[in-house]
Amino acid sequence: MNQKVRVTLFSVLITTFLSIGIGFFSLQDSRNGAIGELDSDLNLVIQTAQENPNDTINAALFAIENSKLDASLLFLTPSMDMTVIVESTLLLRDGPSAQEIKTSSVKPITVNADSPYRLRSLTLPEGEYLLVAASIAELDSTWHTNLLRIVIFLFFANALAILFSILVLRNNSRNFERNSLSRMQLFLGDAAHELRTPLTVIKGYSELLASKKFDAPEDRERALLRIDTEVKRMESLINDLLLTAELSESTHLDFSECDLTELLATHIQDFKVLSPAHEVTSLIEDGVKIQGSIDHLERLIQNIFSNIRRHTSDEVDVKISLKKIGKNAVMTFEDAGPGLPPEAYKKSILEFERFDRSRSRLSGGSGLGMSIMAAVVKEHRGALELSQSDLGGLSTKITLPIK
């Protein structure tokens, strides 16, 4: 595996685990907040009972009904015989231990029974106890469900990011590959920024569901539907981010003044040395300069000459020209080789990637080299046109804006 690919994959995996960690702590904070609200209600019941020592049980019943708390109220004798005064969705098969009752007389605690619950107790005269218990099974179930959703989504998003990085590394020049890791990190940063809003909505509705703020079934159904909508929105958002990153791959920050006259003349001289049998005619206008990436433009010209060497026979005439036309610089490369199949000339610049890469030397074509050429021309906001040359072969015309 290419070293750049390994580095990128490692970076994405690290980011994935960090994202999962952030999501975990966010959900844990949400769960702790819901438990805090539940504890406040349990403390209120016990406080109300304490303030009414002559009618403790009725005061506790009033507090439970007034707060709409889904809790069980229990009476415990000194011999640990338990009587259920008010039942709830919590079904207690076995009562708490003596130590748990003692601890819960100070603050609410979690009892890890078959169905976990929060417990708060009040010590009554003659060693009796009043217990208030509320189930947290649904809260835990919601927590696990949301954690699973976040894990699945993050792995899905980062799998797409890995695929995107591999495609970038395969289809661009070596200099372009050096920046792939930083572009991937930027992409993941943008994705995290854009995903905050739907994650906030999911967290908010999860907290409301966990704290039982929705009494009516239709309200709970509407909240679950809202969560599902935001999850689907995140899936759509990650696809849009991939497309945006692909279209804005070049930031143009590395663009500088490039002397096309000098650049093209240098490569023409190299071509003459490497292919002395070709008859080369060049018409190069002086002082043609543009703003662009010198490395990428060199790769563009190298690919054109490489195609001519590979797909034309020796002693084939070659004609190269460079001139200014209005606000554009126009380079034209013509040869007397076999050219392309007639249908290939009808293809647009976006279709070059689908050319046959395995064509023979006699069939002509563009293949992967043409794919890179098309990407460079697009990066410079130019135009690439393939046509039949006056020499009988292929004519490659590249128009690039001077500014």
Secondary structure string (H, E, C) spanning 206-226: HHHHHCCCCCCHHHHHHHHHH
Please give the residue range of the domain that contains residue 290: 256-401
Q: What is the pLDDT of residue 327?
A: 92
Q: Are residues 184 and 49 in the same domain?
A: yes
Q: Are residues 160 and 277 in the same domain?
A: no
Q: Are residues 226 and 290 in the same domain?
A: no
Q: Which residues of 260-280 are buried (b: 16+ CB within 10 A; e: fewer)?
A: bbebbbebbeebeeebeebeb
Encoded tokens for 52: 């009414």
Q: Are residues 296 and 340 in the same domain?
A: yes
Per-residue 3-state assignment (H helix, E strand, C coil) for 130-187: EEEEEECHHHHHHHHHHHHHHHHHHHHHHHHHHHHHHHHHHHCCHHHHCCHHHHHHHH
**Of 249, 265, 282, the domain-final residue:** 249
Q: Which stretches of the chain drop beneath a pLDDT of 70?
A: 1-9, 12, 166, 168-195, 197, 236-254, 346-369, 371-372
Q: Are residues 5 and 146 in the same domain?
A: yes
DSSP letter assigned to residue 400 = E
Q: Are residues 33 and 177 in the same domain?
A: yes
Q: Are residues 203 and 321 in the same domain?
A: no
Q: Are residues 37 and 158 in the same domain?
A: yes
Q: Are residues 219 and 362 in the same domain?
A: no
Q: What is the pLDDT of residue 190?
A: 54
Per-residue 3-state assignment (H helix, E strand, C coil) for 318-387: EEEEEEEECCEEEEEEEECCCCCCHHHHHCCHHHHHHCCCCCCCCCCCCHHHHHHHHHHHHHCCCEEEEE
Q: What is the pLDDT of residue 353?
A: 40
Q: What is the pLDDT of residue 367?
A: 38
Q: Are residues 160 and 269 in the same domain?
A: no
**Of 216, 234, 249, the domain-final residue:** 249
317-325 vs 279-284, strand pairing mode:
parallel
Query: How many domains would you assign to the chain?
Result: 2
Which pTM does this prediction carry? Answer: 0.39
Q: Are residues 210 and 307 in the same domain?
A: no
Q: What is the CATH number of the domain that holds 348?
A: 3.30.565.10
**Of 231, 249, 267, the domain-final residue:** 249
Select from 103, 84, 85, 86 the least CA-distant residue to 94. Answer: 84
Q: Are residues 211 and 93 in the same domain?
A: yes
Q: What is the pLDDT of residue 366?
A: 34
> Could you read off the pLDDT of 142-193 as tens digits, one per residue?
878 887 887 787 777 777 777 777 676 666 545 555 555 565 565 556 556 6
Q: What is the pLDDT of residue 252?
A: 56
Three-state SS for 291? strand
Q: Which residues of 66-80 are buried (b: 16+ CB within 10 A; e: fewer)?
A: eeebebbbbbbeeee
